[in-house]
Each structure stands twice: as structure tokens, then as C-alpha cells.
Amino acid sequence: MIDLNDPDMKEIVIEFCDESDELIEELRDTLDEFEDHPEKPEYLEKFGQTIDRIMGASKTLGLQDLGDLCQMGKIIGYKASQVGEQPLQEVSGGILFDLCDLVEVLLTNLREGSESHDFNVEAFKGRLEWLAAKFKHIERASCAFDEKEAKGAKAKGKTTTAELDRLINQFGRAS
């Protein structure tokens, strides 16, 4: 847990949370657009691009659970945009809405220096595991696709569903 008694750290955390709140609003707007236009999976890809910003800042601050949750959202957004099955994309959108709710819970906990929540993490992990199984055939987990870059990322284990599986399995253990 971050020491909120340190005034400098508290200021950083407040700024991070405020910026993340704005990005969550943008994420929800993107998902609303996708609900209105489910034939446009590029909204799911945009979700992945946007949540990547929260992910990077979270990991920089050492907020492992929040960073991992955002990374799962990024991978799901990218993979869902490629799956080619509109009903599965729509289910993915619903799960991404729930992921936004959980990100908000973690941000509230961070602001308050608390670890309590009314979110059933285990049930959510079960939904993520089900969804990850539906994406097994999709190797690419990023929006930009460059053959050389993709081979390097695959060798590092960053683009496969195995990375999503790993994140799901470890989620909730870092705190």
C-alpha cells in the first residue's frame, strides 16, 4: 500500500486518481458508443488503447493489482475487437463495463487508504477466465500490427492468451 502520510506521495496519488477518473469516463463513453454501434469493434480497440494509459501509470506507482486489471482490460479490448463474433464482442463490452467498476473501486480504496470493496473478485475472475478461453485462437493482443514486432512480442509471451491467463490467475494476490 502506498504511504498516504507522505505529502508528496499523497499529491501524486490524488493527481493519478483524478486523471484516471477522467480516463474511466472516456472508457465508459467508448463502451457506450460500442453498445450503440456493435458492428464497429474498433471501439473495443480504442478501449484497449485508453486503458493502457491507466495501466502504465499504475505500474509506475507500484499498484500491481490495478496495473494488472488494466492490462487485462487492454488485452480483452484488443482481442475482442478481432474475434469477429458480434455476440461475443457484446459480452466482452459488458465485462469491460464491470472492469471499469472494479478499477473505480480500486481507485477509491487508493484514495482512502482502504482495501475494502463490495465487488466479488472471484466471480469476476471466473467471467474473465471464460472470456479468455473464447480468445485462445487470437494471438495478437495489440492494436498495431507489425510482423517483426509481433514475432518479438510473441517470443516474450506478451501477445498470447497465456498472458491474459497469467494475469487472471495472479489477480488479487498482490495486495
pLDDT digits (tens, 9 = 90+) for 62-85: 998 899 999 999 999 999 999 989
Q: Which among 46, 35, 43 is positioned nearest to 91, based on CA atoms?
A: 35
- pLDDT for res 107: 94
At 12-37, the pLDDT tens digits run 999 999 999 999 999 999 999 999 99
- Domains annotated for the chain, with CATH where assigned, are 7-170 (1.20.120)
pLDDT band, residue 5 (cuts 50/70/90): confident
User: Which of 68-72, 87-91, 103-107, 153-157 has the lowest average pLDDT?
Assistant: 153-157
CA 158 → CA 77, 106, 113, 114, 163, distances in Å?
A: 15, 25, 32, 32, 6
- pTM for the model stands at 0.84
Using alpha carbons, select from 60, 63, 43 the residue that is nearest to residue 105.
Answer: 63
Integer Cα distance of 14 and 123 in angstroms: 30
